[in-house]
Amino acid sequence: MVNNPAEIQLLFLLGPSGAGKSQVGAWLAADLNFLHIEIDRCPEGDGIDLAHIRPEWDAFLDRNDAGPLAKTLSSRVMETGRTGVVLTFTSLVVFNQPRIEQLRTKGISVIILYGSESECLNSFLDREKRLARGMENNERHWIYYNRETHAEFSRPEYAPWRLTVFKDGVHRSRIDIVNEIQRSIANKKRESAPNVCDAWKMLNTSPYTA
């Protein structure tokens, strides 16, 4: 449990299918006591609506204001007795640099789970084989929905947010990935901690509700 709002850790995980966003989110929930909010909820519905953060999300998308989102997420962390929150997104979500910077100024870290195209594709196919959802041989599905996203995340300007999750073609160990994420968040929070405090002080003044 976090007693000091400035210690709350807010994290968005992005990346192509097969990178392991949902799995890593579950690891962070188990190992670091994070609240895990899965935004990739297809076919159940729109994960933003199911997480009850639509007004805050629209403020971010429409006005590039991540303040209401940071305040709501911080409140949920405190209410649930967690140390932080991680949102894991569909592979189609790509933030440009101004949006990532806006998130940073409000205390929300962004990490892109990354690997080569072949590593992500093979991991996706292995996962689908285990889940038996009928896509274990469907390379075209990954290529159609992920090749463009992967190419975007491969651009040099995204290097500061990339975390390589593969080694020799397989996923790195759980402890390695969790520890590296923890270090990355700590580094980013040192840059934006005052804004996190400001966001928390404004919790009762926001016109947005979860």
CATH code at position 29: 3.40.50
Residue 165 lies inside a defined structural domain of this protein? yes
So what's the pLDDT on residue 178? 98
From the list 124, 65, 119, 61, the residue with the least C-alpha distance to 91 is 124
Residue 209 lies inside a defined structural domain of this protein? no
In the chain, the number of structural domains is 1
Residue 64 lies inside a defined structural domain of this protein? yes
So what's the pLDDT on residue 168? 93
Domain range enclosing 162: 5-202
Residue 207 lies inside a defined structural domain of this protein? no
126-168, pLDDT tens digit by residue? 998 888 877 666 899 999 999 999 999 999 999 999 999 999 9
Q: What parts of the chain have a pLDDT lower than 50?
A: 194-210
So what's the pLDDT on residue 204? 43
Question: pTM of the predicted model, to two decimals?
Answer: 0.87
Q: How open is the CA angle 95-124-44, to the nearest 5 degrees? A: 70
Residue 57 lies inside a defined structural domain of this protein? yes
Residue 210 lies inside a defined structural domain of this protein? no
So what's the pLDDT on residue 129? 87
So what's the pLDDT on residue 22? 96
